[in-house]
Amino acid sequence: MPIRTGAEYVQCLQERHPEVYLRGERIDDVTTYPSLRNGVATMAKLYDMQHDAEFRDDMTYVSPSSGESVGASFIIPKSIGDLEHRHRMMAHWAKASFGMMGRTPDFLNVSLMAMAQAGDYFAQNRPEFKDNIQNYYEYVRENDLVLTHTLVNLQRTRSTTTTPLVDTTGVALAVTKETDDGLIVNGARVLATLGPLSDEIAVYPARSHRLPDGSEGRYSFAFAIPSDTKGLRYLCRESYDLERSNFDHPLGSRFEEMDAIVFFDNVLVPWDRVFLYGDPDLCNNMAMSTNQYLHSGHQVVTRNVAKCEFILGLASLMVRTLGSGGNPQVQSMLAEIIENLQMTKACLRAAEADAKPDRWGVTSPSLQYIGVARSMFIKMYPRMAEILHLLGSSSLMALPTEADMDGPLASDIERYLETDTASAAERVRLFRLAWDTCCSAFGSRQVLYERFFQGDSQRNAIILNNVTDTTPMTEMVQEFLEQG
C-alpha cells in the first residue's frame, strides 16, 4: 500500500478495536469519541499532506522494495541530501502543529529505520532478530502505519535502577513465559503518547533508564505488536481537548495527541515481532549503538525549530499588542527566544552538515550537535513558557470566552479590552492562544512533555558527558600547565 490518505488512516483506526479507556469508560471508536476525535482529525490532515501537490515531493520517496510512493520519514539516508529531504518532510509535519504534537509518526519511523539498518546489532542476540526488525520496518513503511512506543516502567521505587532489577511486585513489564508462539509479557509501562491513535505499539529499551548490571533477562527485550493485541490496555489521562471552540482553546481543540499508561495482561508477542530478548547489555546500548538516538533526535530537533519559531511569533505579537516592546527587560526576554531559535537551527544545520556514514551504512547526523540540541531544549522550553507568563501577566487571565464576545458584556469587552494596536477581539484571540500555550492544562503538559519525553535533564547530561571526548581539550590545558 502506498502512502495513506487521512481517510484511510481513520478507517484503519475504526477497523481496529484496541482496549482504550478514558474517564472510566471503554471507548469503542476513538475517531468519533469527543475529546479524541479532533486529534484524530489533525493526524488525518497530516496524512493528507502526503498527497497534496504543494508538499508531495518533500513528503514522499519511492520505496526501494515496492516502487510505490512511501513516506519520506522512512528514507534510509545515504547522503546529506537524503537527510535534508527527510528534514523538509519532518518540518512540514512539525509546522502543522507548531511542534505541539511531538509524536507525529515520523518520530518512530526514523527510529525504526535506524534499528532496521543496524540489523546485525540485533543478530548478535539471535540471528532471526535481524530479519524480524528489517521485515517490521518494511511492513510499517509499506503500510504507512502509525506507531506509539513505551519504554519506561511505572515509578514505584527507583532504587531498582541502582541494584539489579529483580521486581517482586510485578509492576515492571517482564517476560513471564516463553511459548512456541512467542513471549508472554506481563506488567505495565508508561507512557504511550499517541497510543489510542496508533496502529501499533513498539516496546524497546530506554537509553535513559539503563538496566543495572546483573538484571534478569526477562526485563530485557524489544518488540512491537498491534495496538489491538489481546490483553493490551491503554488507560488515557484526562483529555485536554474539552471540545471547546478553536477560539476558546486554540491548541487543545486541535492538537490533543493523548498519553496513556499501558497495561499488558499476559500479552502474546509472536516470535517474528521480537527484536531483542534476554540480553541487558544489548538492550542498554541499543539506542546509541544503532544510532536510533541520532535519527529520532533529527526529528526532535526539527520539531523544536518549529516550536521556537511559534513561540517567537507569539511572544512578538503579545509584546506588540501590549505596547511593551520599549522595555529593556522585554527586549531581553525576546532576545532569549531568538537565541533559542537560532541555537536550535544552528545545531540542526551543523548536525546535517557534519553527518557521516555510520557503521551500518546510514548517513547519520552528528552526535554532538544532536545531543546538545536535545539536552538544551529540555531547559529552553520551560523557560520560554515562563517568558510567555512574564510578558503576558494579567492578559493571560483577562480572557473572555467566545460566548462572552457576543454576550451581555460584549460592548464593555469591545471598549475596555482593545489596545493601541489591536481590537478587543484580536487581543482576546491572541491571548487565548498564549494562555493555551503556557497556562492551560494543554500548555502545562507541553512543558512536562519537553522536560521528560526524552528522559530527564540529569540523565541527558550524563549521556552528553559520556559521548563527549574531552581528550583534545584536556591535553591542550595539560600542555599549557607543563610549560611551567
Q: Is 473 in the site for ligand FAD (CB under 6 A)?
A: no
Instruction: Return d(Cα 174, Cα 195) in angstroms, integer.
Output: 20
> Per CB under 6 A, does 315 bind ligand FAD?
no
User: Locate cell 523557560: which residue?
Assistant: 383
Q: Any residues with CB less than 8 A from the CB of 454 and at least 6 apart, and which?
A: 208, 300, 374, 378, 460
Candidate segments 87-95, 135-143, 248-256, 452-460, binder of ligand FAD by CB under 6 A? 452-460
Least separation in angstroms between residue 313's CB and ligand FAD is 24
- Residues 160-179 contacting ligand FAD, CB under 6 A: 161
Nearer to ligand FAD, 158 or 484 (CB): 158
Which position among 46, 151, 174, 276 is part of the footprint of ligand FAD (CB under 6 A)? Answer: 151
Please state the closest distance from residue 452 (CB atom) to ligand FAD, in A.
4
Whether residue 445 contacts residue 240, with contact meaning beta carbons closer than 8 Å, is answered with yes
Task: Quote the least distance from Cβ 342 to ligand FAD, whole Å.
Answer: 27
- Residue 307 interacting with ligand FAD (CB under 6 A): no
Choices 42-50, 61-69, 79-87, 444-452 (CB under 6 A): range interacting with ligand FAD = 444-452
Candidates 81-89, 186-194, 308-316, 367-375; binding stretch for ligand FAD (CB under 6 A): 186-194
Residue 446 parent element (H or E): helix 441-452
DSSP per-residue letters across 152-216: BPPPS-GGGGTS----SSS-B-EEEEE-SSEEEEEEEEB--TTGGG-SEEEE---SSSPPPTT--
Restricting to residues 50-69, which ones interact with ligand FAD according to CB under 6 A? none
User: Per rule CB under 6 A, is residue 354 in the interface with ligand FAD?
Assistant: no
Cell of 138: 518494511
Residue in the structure block whose three cell numbers are 551504512: 361
Give rounded-to-5 percent helix, strand, coil for the chain. Answer: 50, 15, 35
75-85 exposure pattern, b = at least 16 Cβ within 10 A, e = fewer:
bbbeebebbbb
| Residue ranges in 230-269 that form contacts with ligand FAD under rule CB under 6 A | 259
> Does 456 help bind ligand FAD (rule: CB under 6 A)?
yes
Which position among 150, 198, 215, 340 is part of the footprint of ligand FAD (CB under 6 A)?
150
Backbone angles phi, psi at 186, to 5 degrees: -145, 145
Q: Which of 258, 455, 460, 463 binds ligand FAD (CB under 6 A)?
A: 455
What minimum distance in Å lies between the beta carbon of 412 and ligand FAD?
39
Site string for ligand FAD, 193-232 (x = CB under 6 A): x--------------x------------------------
CB atoms near residue 349 (< 10 Å): 15
The residue within the footprint of ligand FAD, chosen from 82, 139, 452, 464 (CB under 6 A), is 452
CA-to-CA distance for 360 and 346, rounded, in angstroms? 26
Pick from 15, 54, 155, 180 the residue near ligand FAD by CB under 6 A: 155
Q: How many CB atoms lie within 10 A of CB 328?
A: 7
CB of 461 to ligand FAD, least distance (A): 9
Please say which residue, 206 or 396, places its beta carbon nearer to ligand FAD: 206
Question: In whole angstroms, how close is the CB of 87 to ligand FAD at the nearest point?
Answer: 22
Among 149, 249, 254, 303, binds ligand FAD (CB under 6 A): 149
CB of 195 to ligand FAD, least distance (A): 8
- Residue type, position 121, single letter: Y
356 and 364 Cβ atoms separated by less than 8 Å: yes
Stretch that binds ligand FAD, among 187-195, 272-280, 375-383, 406-414 (CB under 6 A): 187-195
- Nearer to ligand FAD by Cβ, of 209 and 429: the residue is 209
The rounded Cα 356 to chain-centroid distance in angstroms is: 24
Tell whether residue 458 is a contact of ligand FAD (CB under 6 A): yes
* Minimum distance from residue 303 beta carbon to ligand FAD (Å): 14
Q: Does 352 bind ligand FAD (CB under 6 A)?
A: no
Which residues touch 276 (CB under 8 Å, ≥6 apart)? 122, 125, 129, 204, 205, 220, 221, 222, 223, 282, 283, 286
Q: Does 45 bind ligand FAD (CB under 6 A)?
A: no
CB distance 13 to 30 below 8 Å:
yes
For ligand FAD, the closer of residues 39 and 455 by Cβ is: 455
Q: Specify which residues 175 forms β-bridges with.
A: 185
Single out the segment in contact with ligand FAD by CB under 6 A; choices: 20-28, 323-331, 361-369, 441-449.
441-449
Instruction: Tell me the DSSP string of 277-327.
Output: ES-HHHHHHHHHHTTHHHHHHHHHHHHHHHHHHHHHHHHHHHHHHHT-TTS
Sole residue written with cell 497534496: 52
Query: For the stretch 188-213, what's the b/e string if a residue is b when 16 or more beta carbons lie within 10 angstroms of its beta carbon?
Result: bbebbbbbbbbbbbbbbbbbbbbbee
Q: Which residues bind ligand FAD (CB under 6 A)?
A: 149-152, 155, 158, 161, 190-193, 208, 259, 445, 448-449, 452-453, 455-456, 458-459
